[in-house]
Amino acid sequence: MQNPGRDVAAVFRVSDEVRSACAERRPVVALETSVLSQGLPPPHNLESAYAMDRAVRDEGAIPAWTAIDGQQVRVGLGEGDLERFCDRALPIAKVARRDLAAALARGGMGATTVSATLWIAALLGIDIMATGGIGGVHPHSGDVSADLLEMARLPGLVVCAGPKSIVDPVATLERLEELGVLVVGYGTDRLPFFIVRDAGLALEHVVSSPREAAGLARMRRALGVSSAVLLCQPVGEAHALPLRKVEDAVRECEARAAAHGVTGKAVTPFLLSTLALVTGGASLSANLALLHANATLAARIAVEAEAG
């Protein structure tokens, strides 16, 4: 990525734990906070935060949650911080990479999306991050998530469960290919679709172990490739939903969003929360399971990457 401004250190507040791990080249996993502040409902958001944090640590890596707090970029949040960013009574903005300067100038609290977290991680030399599902190309409107654009110009390896089930998987995969983002299946040659295991689209590249994924991350770094690798792990079979059921549910959610005049950044949180209602909580259970699984896999890859 490009060299940051001279005063960037003044707005960064990196925890001692994350700072020392980065300096000593110990495994670190970057984690976004928008999934906590705007994605998951209470109390599941805090429960998931603790579970993901613990999963990363149990595998021998350090969790690096990112957020905007006051006029600082925070990297590495403690339990009290996570509680604050899970409190829906607080005014917490959703912050993509493009919003960082405005969010810092304004102050207050901001939860980072995939695009913002990837930028922050790249600046600190953190190669591995984990999330639930990435944004994509929205049907009907054709809106493109900033996640895709930032992955095209920022390095790293993003562990996810594929595009969120509310986007167009065909258009999203095509756009990723156009942007030069390498999409890799973890143990599958089919594109995972968030809470659905198979979007019906073939993937050309597959890895089958954390060691293979770490090798891919190291090779990307050795080649100096400036774009990210998107590693897609299917949601576990026990929690996966059928594609047709999810497609029907998403159409109903889109109709409700249109009826309520929901637009812009509010669309994704609205659709995901409505999807949980329409599926009787099944989509939420799947989301929680895949977030934990992705954090675990990302930590294992980070450990292997540093060991190599």
Domains of the chain: 8-307 (3.40.1790.10)
Q: Which two tokens stand for residue 114?
A: 């995939």
Please, what sign has the CA dihedral across residues 11, 15, 21, 24? positive
Q: Which two tokens stand for residue 140?
A: 């009907």
Measured over the CA atoms of residue 40, residue 155, residue 176 and residue 231, the dihedral's sign is: negative
Catalytic residue among 94, 164, 304, 306: 164
196, 241 contact by CB (below 8 A): yes
User: What does each C-alpha distance from 2 to 102, 122, 123, 125 come to in angstroms?
Assistant: 19, 10, 9, 13
Residues in the chain with pLDDT values less than 50: 1-2
- What's the confidence (pLDDT) of residue 160? 98
pLDDT in tens, 122-154: 999 999 999 999 999 988 777 899 999 999 999
User: Can you read off the two tokens belonging to residue 216?
Assistant: 């891919």
DSSP state of 76: S
> The whole model's pTM is what?
0.94
- How far is 118 from 227, CA to CA, in rounded Å? 11
What distance, in Å, lies between the first and last C-alpha atoms of the chain? 23
pLDDT of residue 1: 43
Q: Which one from 32, 150, 254, 306 is the annotated catalytic residue?
A: 32
For residue 164, indicate whether it is catalytic: yes
Locate all alpha helices (DSSP H) within 224-265, ordered by sequence.
Answer: 243-259
What DSSP assignment string belongs to 164-179? -TTS-HHHHHHHHHHH
- Render the burial of 149-188: b for 16+ CB within 10 Å, e for the rest: bbbbbbbbbbbbbbbbbbbbbebbbebbeebebbbbbbeb
